[in-house]
Structure 1
Amino acid sequence: MMKIRVGFGYDVHALVPDRALWLGGIKIEHTLGLQGHSDADVLIHAICDALLGAANMRDIGYHFPDTAGAYKDIDSKILLRDTLKLLREKGYELGNIDATVCAEQPKLKNHIPTMQQTLAEVMAVDPDDISIKATTSEKLGFTGRQEGISAYATVLITKN
């Protein structure tokens, strides 16, 4: 019998000057970047949390603590690759991802296909299994004031 599980992830990072903006594993030209211990890729972090949650394996901070020097400025694609490795060691495989990035600026729609392709390569899955959407918060709240970017992810994983 196939076991099917779902997981949900959320992450937020502040926008600050003098940092690169990494989203969905790609560098995007923008005047501000995301602040964090790693490269602060909110989309990848939300996906990692969703995957770990679906497999009942805690969260990204448990596996990759921001108190560990090894993760300082780390490329979040490495964290995603390692998260998939943990899941596969437990017998799970990715079904699909449905994710949303919430940011006023920059506009992300033209970057989404590259994000999908990049994430698919990191996870060794079909890009069609990764849905990424972009929205704004209509100038409301911290995202609306361009103080930060948030991301949400829902995943489905299976085990035979």
Structure 2
Amino acid sequence: MSAAVTPVRVGIGYDSHRFVEGHGVILGGVLIPATVRCTGHSDADAVCHALTDAILGGAGLGDIGEMFPDTQAENAGRDSIEMLQLALARVRKAGWRCAQADITVIAEFPKIGPHRAAIREKLANAIDLSPADVMVKGKTNESMGWIGRGEGIATIAVATLVRAD
């Protein structure tokens, strides 16, 4: 029995990072001024990491940890926009293209609204879309849990993929 390939797929990605003392949070490739930064093996850009997972997952090509293991020295401090672009190249090679992305950042701070346009522009350029096809929203956790206490940030991303044929 031959399985038909679905012409549209949806991928969901999630990422979270702890805050440590620093000079700004990188989200979607944009440095947002803050007294903290996210800590992680790469540049700890939770927006790019979640979107990368959504795009890879939608294409059935694994996840960011498989493609960029934190056990490899070359991934230390790596630019997450570059990682997103390399993942997108893998997805294109498999016959898919990203048609749309929707991202929600959950954090008490920094506030996303003042930086939304810059993040949308940066992500759109990275994945060859119009900023109109990339949505970024900020939500708080209403002071609940580790996010509510200001200990870190979480991001959820959804990506719609279509056949590139």
| TM-score bucket of the superposed structures, by smaller chain | over 0.9
Instruction: Name the CA distance, whole Å, in 2 between partners of 1:19 and 1:58.
Output: 33
CA distance in 2, matches of 1:88, 1:3: 14
Where do 5+ consecutive residues of structure 1 fail to align? Answer: none
2:72 to 44, 54, 68: 68
Matches within 5 A, 1:136-147: 136-147=140-151
For 2:89, what is the secondary structure of its paired residue?
helix
Give the CA deviation at 1:19: 5.8
Provide the residue aligned with 2:138 in structure 1: 134
Alignment of 1:79-158 (within 5 A): 79-158=83-162
Please state whether the residue corresponding to 2:118 is helix, strand or coil: helix
Q: Matched residues in 1 for 2:133 and 2:112: separation?
A: 19
| Structure (1 or 2) with the larger CA radius of gyration | 2
Q: Does 1:45 align with 2:28?
A: no
- Say yes or no: does 1:22 pair with 2:17: no
For 1:56, what is the secondary structure of its paired residue? Answer: coil
SS of 1:22 mapped into structure 2: strand
Using the aligned pairs only, state the percent identity. Answer: 38
Rounded to whole Å, the distance in 1 between the matches of 2:44 and 2:141 is 20
Distance in 2 of aligned mates of 1:156 and 1:102: 21
Q: Contact (CA 8 Å) 1:19, 1:34: kept in 2 or not?
A: no
Instruction: Give the letter aligned to residue 142 of structure 1.
Output: W
Tell me, yes or no, if the aligned pair for 1:102 and 1:143 is still in contact at 8 Å.
Answer: yes
TM-score between both structures, scaled by the size of structure 1: 0.96
**Kept after mapping to 1: 8 A contact 2:25/2:37:** yes
Q: What's the RMSD between the two structures over aligned residues?
A: 1.2
CA distance in 1 between partners of 2:73 and 2:6 (Å):
39
**C-alpha distance in structure 2 between counterparts of 1:80 and 1:37, whole Å:** 15
1:19/1:35 contact within 8 Å kept: no
Structure 1 letter corresponding to 2:47: L
Tell me the matched-pair count: 160
Does the 8 Å contact 2:23/2:34 carry over to 1? no
Cα distance in 2, alignment partners of residues 106 and 26 from structure 1: 12
